[in-house]
Structure 1
Amino acid sequence: MRLNLSSQITLKRIPKRYFQPENDFEEYILTRFEKIPTHIYEDINEASKVVADEIVKNLLQKQKEGKPFVMGICGGSSPQLIYEELVRRHKEENISFRNLVVFNIYEYYPVTDVSKSNLRMLKDVFLDHIDIDPNNIYSPDPAVEKDLIAENCAAYEEALQSFGGMDYLLLGLGSKGNIGFNMPGSNPNSRTRLVMLDGDSRRDSISIFGSLDRVPVSAITMGISDMMKARRITLIAWGEQKAESIKRMVEGSVSESMPASFLQTHPNAKVIIDLSAASNLTRISYPWLVTSCDWNNKLIRRAIVWLCNQVEKPILKLTNKDYNDNGLSELLTIYGSAYNVNIKIFNDLQHTITGWPGGKPDADDTYRPERAKPYPKRVIIFSPHPDDDVISMGGTFQRLVNQGHEVHVAYQTSGNIAVNDEEVIRYISVINSIRKRFDPGNVIIFEKYNQIKNYLLYEKKKDDIDTPDVLFIKSQIRREEARTADRYIGLSDKNIHFLDLPFYETGRVKKKPISEEDVFIVKDFIETIKPHQIYVAGDLADPHGTHKVCLDAVLAAIDLLKDEDWFKDCRIWMYRGAWMEWEIDHIEMAVPLSPEELRQKRNAILKHQSQMESAPFLGDDERLFWQRAEERNKATAELYWKLGLASYEAIEAFVEYKPIK
């Protein structure tokens, strides 16, 4: 069973030679804007193995020389697959790590529960599973007395210097372009020290500590000066949420506002990223600026949209001069004139627009994104959390229902950890008031009310997992909000489904890995409906990772069903949530919304009252979900209008997923 198909989604406009050059000459041409050697891989697993290969090679070389291999290691999610591969090689290939010396490059401070420390995480996923000498593990102390912090930092640096510095430093890239916790403004001469964490850094750490109020306000980090003394540095980054930072780090100038850019001055630093993280680099995003292109429809569309922005013109007003002056003369050679290219791309974008996302019955569907038949269609909307359906495609959802299709919504997780305790107290207080009015003698409800209220108000400690009763109530709050929103749209209760995938039900922010059990729940559900359309969240920029796991569960189920006769008549459309929108060159179906439809979408989102201002996982965007969704949908519509197409209030965008062979 293939459980990581989302990592293989490549939105085909990027020929392989752009990110894996065929020879040195091609590489020099393609990478001329890049100031750090940058290696791009399609698959995170492949990239992680390349890094693990290099680490093992250097480790074994040091073993032959009878010397320690001194390595700086980072925490977070990015290096996890690398650590897993190193552990596998130790267990299956008998690679010994007896000469490994590690320096944990940062640690949260203060940490009273050591199970939440960065070092504990590194031990859980890596260090406790290899034969490293425990005395060779160095880390800042997360519980050191406040008046001993400076002494602890000095001892850490002395240990590092006693080994002559690091042979190899493995770095991740923070959301602010930070390396370790060297945040923007850090001095290149900085040493190991205590730093205060800003709001974004603390929000990035919610997945470790469970909630923002539990995240420490500071951290002890290795300084940039110490990092730059490492003999080799490899920085890794995965996912499109890192794309803008990678561009600034690799192609921008060296600046304290982008601490990772200091690696440009290191003689033996390199960057290893996946294709998503590379998406903003010039050779990937605007290859016509560095080489001759292998033109396809998506790349031409991207180039024309870029050109329109450069010269501030709609598509049909572009001239031969515009093409020649901006490096796109190749298109004139291929198509003969600007007019021919303009009309091709204009029609291409025009054909993405449809007010009939389920297909328009009895209509010519030659140039429509969805087929006319069958009508009505059976439709499944998979929603990772109980509000992603209306946030991401609420207008399309409404149209599918209004246009007579048999729509089913499947909520993949309960979303219970995203409900604040105050919401539970409010709800059980209402239940207790109802008990007093209609059933005052109900001792069971009365005792349960007191038990839950006392637990949440007085007994629950900072790091406690909610009791099963509290988790149940939080799940029910999310369920009833989802039902309320769906009824507002016009969906029948019998078409609302709650899958409660097991990977999610841990009671913590940290979830279990996806399993076959999750996949078979999804597969069985799809088989009961036998849909003609499936909508699934393709929002890989979700900061909490649940969207990706939910997508993998659906894609794995589709992988098992793709050869069934009935499934051959099913199309899969990926929508995006409140984190990011599809780029216009990828959009294959654009569903326009009127002002009234956009208002109805907002009302549906507002039915999820527990996810308004008090929701604990709003991320690093201060806007509420309905605000993000509206601004994102309006921005897509405005872009279509600027390109010379019809002016709509808002547009929801979709990309078709085709099962991987």
Structure 2
Amino acid sequence: MKTNLSSQITLNRVSTKYYKPENAFERTVLTRFEKIPTDIYESVEEGARQIAKEIAFSIREKQKAGEFCVIALPGGNSPRYVYDELIRMHREEALSFRNVVAFSIYEYYPLAPGGTSSNMKLLQDLFFNHIDINPLNIFSPDGTITKDSIFEQCRLFEQKIEGFGGIDIMLLGIGRTGNIGFNEPGSQINSTTRLILLDNTSRNEAAKLFGGTENVPVSSITMGISTILGAKKIYLMAWGDDKAQMIKETVEGKVTDTIPASYLQSHNNVRVAIDLSAASNLTRIQRPWLVTSCEWDDKLIRSAIVWLCMLTKKPILKLTNKDYNENGLSELLALYGSAYNVNIKIFNDLQHTITGWPGGKPNADDTNRPERATPYPKRVIVFSPHPDDDVISMGGTVRRLVEQNHDVHIAYETSGNIAVGDEEVVRFMHFINGFNQIFDAKSDVVGNKYKEIRSFISNKKEGDFDNWDMLKLKGLIRRGEARIACAYAGIKSENVHFLDLPFYETGKIQKSPISEKDVEIVRALLREVKPHQIFVAGDLADPHGTHRVCTDSVLAAIDMEKEAGEEWLKDCRIWMYRGAWAEWEIEHIEMAVPISPEELRLKRNTILKHQSQMEGAPFMGNDERLFWQRSEDRNRGTAALYDSLGLASYEAIEAFVEYIPL
């Protein structure tokens, strides 16, 4: 079972020529904008395996010499795959960690003594508890000490590192603000281990560990930039498109204290390891014509022309030969003879992405349409990671599909229960208790449960997780909202499916890995409906990773159906949507569905049916806009881009990219 197919989505449009150069000369040409050696891998697993292999080699070499191997390790999501591979090597290849000395790069502060959440606890769960490292060789800042002791502890921590001869291997992730460790923007290159105030972005990233942003400590004790740069070898890892912009700034930008990771440019033995998604903004991936001769295909030509339009501030049909020649695109003139020939090709290409018939227009020539005219009507499944992603990302398209008489099913993959505030439960319990009293219900179950839940909430401490009763009620609240929203959009009640995938139902923000149970639940629905169209979340920048796991479960199920030779899949197209956390770049859009002002208002009303996710939603991310505001801004922004390129002017556009099963 392939459980990480989402990491290979980018492969559909990136030639290996740009990220796997055949020799040193080609690499030098491709990477001339890159100031740190950077390796791009096709998947997270491939990159993690390579890093783990090199770490294991260093550990074994030190063992042969009878020396300690001193490693500095972070928590967070980035190193998990490396830890998993090292654990596998320990179990299956006899890799011993008895000579390893491990330093935690940071710890949150202040922490309550005996608390259940900390970076050290995470490292133990992810790594230390599964290997044979000597516990006496594990060192971390202490997040429970008094403020008066911090300065001395930091001094002793630096002294301990020096006592072991310095750090041999520094393993780093990169934060959304470009921080390494918890060296926030503004950190100086000469900084050592110290207490630092966390900004809101870093606290949001840690929300998964502490059960909500409000529970995350305000500070951290972190190794400084100087401490990090003192390591003999540094690996910087980044996986996923949400890290793409920071990787570009770090690898290709100037050294600046606003992006602390850029200080790594001054180290003589550092390597960046990223997957294709995280590499998507690097020049050799995003704009390869600026560094090498290109393998031009339709997608790359469109990308180049859209870029040229943005650069020259001209619509497509006004680009000239001079524009092409002055901006590194003379190859296209040689291929097509003139700017006009390229312009008209790309203008028509983008024009053909626009359709008011997302399910295909019946009895029409579909040669230049994104979707087929037949069969009509189509059976459609929209997979929604949470019980609102469907309407946030493609609410206008869903309504259009229903109005055009397609058989639309909505499949909510998770309950979304952890994203409901306690006050919502109290509000509903008040109603239920009042209902019970008004209609003189005989049973004491409601009254007793009401008291029990009120007691639980009043005694709930910071960082405590909900019990199963609370989680069930919160899931019920979200189900009710989803049903109302679906009814408002015209979806038949029997076509609303709540899958409640097991990976999500841990009762904690931290979820389990995808399993065969998750995939089989999705597969059963696919076999029941046998859809002609599938819509799945391509918005993988969700800060808690749920979108990626949900998408992986759908793609894994589709892959298994393909392997089984199921006939229905041969007549099915798969479309990826975005909206809640990002939007498709215009050069990648393959279907653009225009939304009128009235349809946009209806879409907003549908989103607002999810009342628990308005201002009180616990996980809004770093974007202060409410979900309906983000959605409208992105849809209007896409329409404005089409307008600026000289195409039709619409109020808003929802955009989709086709997924081709590998």
Deviation at 1:145, TM superposition (A): 2.1
Q: Which residue of 2 aligns with 1:273?
A: 274
Return the letter of the residue paired with 1:455: F
Deviation at 1:462, TM superposition (A): 2.3
Deviation at 1:155, TM superposition (A): 1.4
CA deviation profile, 1:516-556 (whole Å, cap 9, x unmatched): 11111111111111111111111111111111111111111
Task: For 1:505-654, list aligned pairs within 5 A.
Answer: 505-562=505-562, 563-654=565-656
CA deviation profile, 1:161-191 (whole Å, cap 9, x unmatched): 1112111111110111001000100011111
Return the letter of the residue paired with 1:171: L
Equivalents in 1 of 2:447, 2:125: separation in Å?
A: 43
CA deviation profile, 1:337-372 (whole Å, cap 9, x unmatched): 001100100110011110000000100001100000
Equivalents in 2 of 1:447, 1:90: separation in Å?
A: 52
State the secondary structure of the residue aligned to 2:124: helix
Aligned Cα root-mean-square deviation (Å): 1.0
Q: Which residue of 2 aligns with 1:239?
A: 240
State the secondary structure of the residue aligned to 1:86: helix
State the secondary structure of the residue aligned to 1:582: coil
Q: Which residue of 1 aligns with 2:408?
A: 407
Work out whether residues 305 and 316 of structure 2, in 8 Å CA contact, stay in contact via their aligned partners in 1: yes
Matched, 1:396 2:397: yes
Equivalents in 1 of 2:573, 2:502: separation in Å?
A: 27
Deviation at 1:468, TM superposition (A): 2.0
Deviation at 1:12, TM superposition (A): 2.9
Work out whether residues 211 and 464 of structure 2, in 8 Å CA contact, stay in contact via their aligned partners in 1: no
Matched, 1:187 2:188: yes
CA deviation profile, 1:216-272 (whole Å, cap 9, x unmatched): 111100011111111111111111111111111111111111101111011111111
Equivalents in 2 of 1:332, 1:490: separation in Å?
A: 50
CA deviation profile, 1:424-467 (whole Å, cap 9, x unmatched): 001110111111211254322111111111221x2222233222
Equivalents in 2 of 1:69, 1:465: separation in Å?
A: 38
Equivalents in 2 of 1:596, 1:212: separation in Å?
A: 36
Work out whether residues 363 and 373 of structure 2, in 8 Å CA contact, stay in contact via their aligned partners in 1: yes
Work out whether residues 206 and 212 of structure 1, in 8 Å CA contact, stay in contact via their aligned partners in 2: yes
Equivalents in 2 of 1:263, 1:229: separation in Å?
A: 11
Task: For 1:306-317, list aligned pairs within 5 A.
Answer: 306-317=307-318
CA deviation profile, 1:358-394 (whole Å, cap 9, x unmatched): 0001000011000001111111111110000000000
Deviation at 1:10, TM superposition (A): 2.1
TM-score (norm 2): 0.98
Matched, 1:437 2:438: yes
CA deviation profile, 1:478-512 (whole Å, cap 9, x unmatched): 01111111111111211111111111111111111
Deviation at 1:55, TM superposition (A): 0.6
Deviation at 1:115, TM superposition (A): 3.2
Equivalents in 2 of 1:278, 1:308: separation in Å?
A: 23
State the secondary structure of the residue aligned to 1:585: helix
Deviation at 1:5, TM superposition (A): 1.4
State the secondary structure of the residue aligned to 1:9: helix
Equivalents in 1 of 2:11, 2:99: separation in Å?
A: 43
Equivalents in 2 of 1:87, 1:298: separation in Å?
A: 41
CA deviation profile, 1:16-62 (whole Å, cap 9, x unmatched): 11111111111111111111111111111010011011111111111
Task: For 1:90-489, list aligned pairs within 5 A.
Answer: 90-112=90-112, 113-456=114-457, 458-489=458-489
Work out whether residues 351 and 647 of structure 2, in 8 Å CA contact, stay in contact via their aligned partners in 1: yes
Q: Which residue of 2 aligns with 1:47?
A: 47
Equivalents in 1 of 2:95, 2:472: separation in Å?
A: 46
Equivalents in 2 of 1:161, 1:171: separation in Å?
A: 20
Equivalents in 2 of 1:566, 1:87: separation in Å?
A: 41
Work out whether residues 579 and 634 of structure 2, in 8 Å CA contact, stay in contact via their aligned partners in 1: no
Deviation at 1:114, TM superposition (A): 4.2
Equivalents in 1 of 2:71, 2:447: separation in Å?
A: 58
Equivalents in 2 of 1:317, 1:615: separation in Å?
A: 46
Q: Which residue of 2 aligns with 1:68?
A: 68
State the secondary structure of the residue aligned to 2:535: strand
Equivalents in 2 of 1:439, 1:522: separation in Å?
A: 43
State the secondary structure of the residue aligned to 1:292: coil
Return the letter of the residue paired with 2:585: E
Return the letter of the residue paired with 1:202: R
Equivalents in 1 of 2:236, 2:314: separation in Å?
A: 39
Greater mean alpha carbon deviation, residues 22-31 or residues 3-12: 3-12
Return the letter of the residue paired with 1:62: K
Equivalents in 1 of 2:442, 2:163: separation in Å?
A: 73
Q: Which residue of 2 aligns with 1:81?
A: 81
Matched, 1:495 2:506: no
Work out whether residues 576 and 582 of structure 1, in 8 Å CA contact, stay in contact via their aligned partners in 2: yes
Work out whether residues 379 and 531 of structure 1, in 8 Å CA contact, stay in contact via their aligned partners in 2: yes
Work out whether residues 4 and 552 of structure 2, in 8 Å CA contact, stay in contact via their aligned partners in 1: yes
Return the letter of the residue paired with 1:308: C
TM-score (norm 1): 0.98
Work out whether residues 289 and 328 of structure 2, in 8 Å CA contact, stay in contact via their aligned partners in 1: yes
Work out whether residues 575 and 656 of structure 2, in 8 Å CA contact, stay in contact via their aligned partners in 1: yes
State the secondary structure of the residue aligned to 2:362: coil
Number of matched pairs: 659
State the secondary structure of the residue aligned to 1:10: helix
State the secondary structure of the residue aligned to 2:478: helix
Equivalents in 2 of 1:455, 1:114: separation in Å?
A: 19
Equivalents in 2 of 1:576, 1:436: separation in Å?
A: 45
Equivalents in 1 of 2:153, 2:626: separation in Å?
A: 42
Equivalents in 2 of 1:13, 1:545: separation in Å?
A: 23
Equivalents in 1 of 2:585, 2:635: separation in Å?
A: 12
Greater mean alpha carbon deviation, residues 115-124 or residues 32-41: 115-124
Equivalents in 1 of 2:426, 2:393: separation in Å?
A: 30
Work out whether residues 115 and 121 of structure 1, in 8 Å CA contact, stay in contact via their aligned partners in 2: no
CA deviation profile, 1:403-436 (whole Å, cap 9, x unmatched): 0001111111111110000000011101111112
Deviation at 1:638, TM superposition (A): 0.6
Work out whether residues 231 and 268 of structure 1, in 8 Å CA contact, stay in contact via their aligned partners in 2: yes
Work out whether residues 7 and 276 of structure 2, in 8 Å CA contact, stay in contact via their aligned partners in 1: no
Deviating above 6 A after TM superposition, structure 1's stretches of 4 or more consecutive aligned residues are none
Equivalents in 2 of 1:344, 1:403: separation in Å?
A: 31
